[in-house]
Amino acid sequence: MNSINLERGKLPDGWILEKLPTLTNIVMGQSPPSSTYNTVGNGLPFFQGKAEFGKIFPTVQKYCSNPKKIAEKNSTLLSVRAPVGPTNLADRTCCIGRGLAAISPIFGIDY
């Protein structure tokens, strides 16, 4: 057993230990100009942080007509401002503000 396994416990057979950027795309959110926000559905749904999080999927309250950072459908949305850590799943392509990061697998997910 190597030092990594000693620190983290033995991995199940067939599993590998990799750094997150090796297996995923990580997008850090960026707030677009507030003049591009709207509530009439013009553009992509815009999520800024945990305030829009539901039990599994975020609730659309605003849209953005000029998104700066985009999370693809099925990405994991991670709150990166207080509170740090809560997650939701993007059920559609969306714009993410600076309170969120989006993590998506490079190779897809085999359920």
- Residue 65 inside a domain? The answer is yes
- Give the 3-state secondary structure percentages of the chain, helix then strand then coil, rounded to 5: 15, 30, 55
- Residue 71 inside a domain? The answer is yes
Top pLDDT among 19 and 3 is at 19
Model confidence at 5: pLDDT above 70: no
- Residue 98 inside a domain? The answer is yes
In this predicted structure, what is the pLDDT of residue 4? 55
Cα separation, 74 vs 81, in Å, equals 21
Write the CATH number for 77. 3.90.220.20
* Total domains in the fold of the chain: 1
Domain that holds residue 59: 23-105
Top pLDDT among 1 and 58 is at 58
Residue 69 · residue 96 · CB < 8 Å: yes
| Residue 56 backbone dihedrals phi, psi, to 5 degrees | -125, -45
- Residue 14 inside a domain? The answer is no
Cα separation, 46 vs 28, in Å, equals 14
Which pTM value belongs to this model?
0.85
Q: Work out the number of other CB atoms within 10 angstroms of the CB of residue 55.
A: 5
